[in-house]
Structure 1
Amino acid sequence: MAHGTLADDIRQRLGELSPAERKVARVLLSAYPSSGFETIAIIAERAAVSAPTVLRFVARLGYHGFPEFQAALRAELDERSASPLALYEAIEDNPSDDTASGLLARSGKVFSHAVTQTLAETPAADLESAIALITDSKRRITLVGGRFTHLLAQYLGLHLMQLRGDVHFLPGGDVERTAALAQLSRKDVVVIFDYRRYEDDKLSIAQLTQEHGGKVIVFTDTWLSPTSAHAHVVLPSRVSTPSPYDSLVPTLAVVETVVAGVVTALGEAGHRHMKHSEDTARRAGLV
């Protein structure tokens, strides 16, 4: 069974599947997770395969039948839609050690494990694809985040601005945002941060980018934002934390890893851009 989500497991197993089973996988991933609740007959029809092929695919994932597969998907959705209030109510009422030292020990264990697992589960090919898109000088980079994750979008964007040109944040105002989205084209890379209790506007942004021929990079949790269905690259992170709020610590580790890769990939060009930025800031009295 998967350590992350069913979608993670499906993506990781694509290379092991038969051509017919890969058709089933693509149908499920194209509208994940809702596609998993269709009947076997409908999934088979959409994939242009037989019903037994769907059952073989499910068995390949380790499930003893389609009902067990859908039960696992329902359990995943319960976690996927959990609010901070629900997570708060699920926290252990009386931790074995509620001192500051106990909290530090628990936090160290939780965060260390989450970061280690996140980086271990990130496919090298996906990281390489993200870095290649971000360092392509012919492309325009636009970043957007959510309630809390806009902080990570800004963090990544500010680093990229020091290393290359044509990096922007998606405006917040309606008129400005509409104008920016109306100009999307094949040269655009839109980087989206979207975590559970996913935001509808992020899905619309991903759809618009894909429809206009642009590429989408999604930073999300292990349950996968709906934007993932329209993404060229998906970088999931674990969100384990001692509090009722999902942690962004593992995502920050992935962001830092992407920045390190971008610095290496840009090489001397990145160094020249950074030096020019420093010189400009100095002349403008900003440093």
Structure 2
Amino acid sequence: MASGTLADDIRLKLGILSPAERKVARVLLASYPSSGFETIATLAERAAVSAPTVLRFVNRLGYSGFPDFQAALRAELEDRNASPLSLYEATDDAGSADSAAGLMARSSKLFTAAVAQTLAETPPHDLERAIALLSDRKRRITLAGGRFTHLLAQYLGLHLMQLRDDVRFLPERAVERTAVLAALTRRDVLVIFDYRRYEHDKLALAQLAQEHGGKVIVFTDTWLSPAASHAEVVFPSQVTTPSPYDSLVPTLAIVETVVAGLITAMGNEAREHMKHVEDTAHRIGLV
């Protein structure tokens, strides 16, 4: 999982915490991030530990005290909820103009680092599980994106349609969308793209799919969409970019990695399906 959030730091340190400190960690993770704003006494009571244990726990994370820990959490939430406008206004040199060469050099550095970090922090078992779910012909796949990320949902979905049957996009119209969601079953895989300023419906979609026994795959940023708590697989990506808009370049790299894995996993079945699709397209004059 991508680094950079307090929740990730807590998970990484679970192995070095004392049993009592681990109780505090699990209480925090169970209702993160809201639990981090409770009082020391409340956290101690919920975890069935002493107040000094809570203080030792935040010290173990590297904070001088509980106010320091909560300040870091507030800063994280500000980043998590940032909009392009707020990022633009927070950038000192937002109005300055790079030369073309300078912009290219800065973009190259930022995108290269973001893609490399995203791929390096993607657990192989998560990639393997996603490929297994998406290549399973017994499963039906539904894809849903957001304001900008619907483009990536379509990109992945169109590749999937060339490789297998039973792939669809979540409809926009209310009646059709409701019908699709009401018909979710254990054989469904819901693929969600959701990035900061998260869209409320994505959490509901993930909950519905999970309640019906289906599997959920979430593509998100390092702060994690709320839908991630209901997902079987989560792909967090870096979003660093030279503009106030979050970058989707690292996510595209993950999507194309998944597609490459699907082609390998599905083998001749994928090739035969692609051939059938091409033949059909020729017959109706689309190519």
Deviations 1:238-278 (A, max 9, x none): 11111111111111111111111111111222222222222
Aligned partner of 1:4: which letter?
G
Aligned partner of 1:201: which letter?
D
Give identity over the alignment, percent: 75
Aligned to 1:233: 233
Match of 1:198, SS state, is coil
Aligned partner of 1:92: which letter?
D
Deviations 1:155-174 (A, max 9, x none): 00111111111111000111
Match of 2:195, SS state, is coil
The whole-number CA distance in structure 1 between the counterparts of 2:57 and 2:232 is: 24
Aligned to 2:165: 165
Aligned to 2:266: 266
The whole-number CA distance in structure 2 between the counterparts of 1:46 and 1:214 is: 32
- Asked whether the equivalents of residues 202 and 227 of structure 2 are also in contact (C-alpha less than 8 Å), the reply is yes
Aligned partner of 1:256: which letter?
E
The whole-number CA distance in structure 2 between the counterparts of 1:209 and 1:20 is: 35
Cα shift at 1:58: 3.7
Match of 1:267, SS state, is helix
Name whichever of 239-248 and 54-63 sits farther off: 54-63
Q: Residue 59 and residue 133 in structure 1: after superposition, are their counterparts in 2 closer, same or farther (change >3 A)?
A: farther
Deviations 1:93-146 (A, max 9, x none): 279972111111111111111111111111222222222221222211110000
Deviations 1:26-78 (A, max 9, x none): 4433433223223345445555x424665554444333443332221111001
5 Å-filtered alignment, 1:88-99, equals: 88-93=88-93, 98-99=98-99
Deviations 1:206-261 (A, max 9, x none): 11111111111111111111111111111111111111111111111111111111
The whole-number CA distance in structure 1 between the counterparts of 2:85 and 2:95 is: 18
Aligned partner of 1:252: which letter?
L
Q: Residue 164 and residue 30 in structure 1: after superposition, are their counterparts in 2 closer, same or farther (change >3 A)?
A: farther
Q: Residue 133 and residue 12 in structure 1: after superposition, are their counterparts in 2 closer, same or farther (change >3 A)?
A: farther
Aligned to 1:33: 33
The whole-number CA distance in structure 1 between the counterparts of 2:148 and 2:94 is: 28
Match of 1:112, SS state, is helix
- Asked whether the equivalents of residues 107 and 241 of structure 1 are also in contact (C-alpha less than 8 Å), the reply is yes
The whole-number CA distance in structure 2 between the counterparts of 1:18 and 1:137 is: 45
5 Å-filtered alignment, 1:247-286, equals: 247-286=247-286
Cα shift at 1:92: 3.4
Aligned partner of 1:50: which letter?
V
- Asked whether the equivalents of residues 195 and 225 of structure 1 are also in contact (C-alpha less than 8 Å), the reply is yes
The whole-number CA distance in structure 2 between the counterparts of 1:173 and 1:101 is: 45
Q: Residue 232 and residue 53 in structure 1: after superposition, are their counterparts in 2 closer, same or farther (change >3 A)?
A: farther
The whole-number CA distance in structure 2 between the counterparts of 1:13 and 1:280 is: 54
Aligned to 1:84: 84
Q: Residue 55 and residue 265 in structure 1: after superposition, are their counterparts in 2 closer, same or farther (change >3 A)?
A: farther
- Asked whether the equivalents of residues 115 and 253 of structure 2 are also in contact (C-alpha less than 8 Å), the reply is yes
Q: Residue 25 and residue 58 in structure 1: after superposition, are their counterparts in 2 closer, same or farther (change >3 A)?
A: same
Match of 1:116, SS state, is helix
The whole-number CA distance in structure 2 between the counterparts of 1:45 and 1:194 is: 34
Match of 1:137, SS state, is coil
- Asked whether the equivalents of residues 144 and 150 of structure 1 are also in contact (C-alpha less than 8 Å), the reply is yes
- 1:71 aligned to 2:76? no
The whole-number CA distance in structure 2 between the counterparts of 1:79 and 1:179 is: 36
- 1:113 aligned to 2:113? yes
- 1:149 aligned to 2:149? yes
The whole-number CA distance in structure 2 between the counterparts of 1:210 and 1:42 is: 31
Match of 1:236, SS state, is strand
Q: Residue 277 and residue 55 in structure 1: after superposition, are their counterparts in 2 closer, same or farther (change >3 A)?
A: farther
Name whichever of 223-232 and 36-45 sits farther off: 36-45
The whole-number CA distance in structure 1 between the counterparts of 2:6 and 2:238 is: 14
Q: Residue 45 and residue 166 in structure 1: after superposition, are their counterparts in 2 closer, same or farther (change >3 A)?
A: farther
- Asked whether the equivalents of residues 88 and 94 of structure 2 are also in contact (C-alpha less than 8 Å), the reply is no
Residues matched between the structures, number: 285
- 1:140 aligned to 2:140? yes
- Asked whether the equivalents of residues 30 and 229 of structure 1 are also in contact (C-alpha less than 8 Å), the reply is no
5 Å-filtered alignment, 1:208-227, equals: 208-227=208-227
Name whichever of 141-150 and 95-104 sits farther off: 95-104
Aligned partner of 1:265: which letter?
A
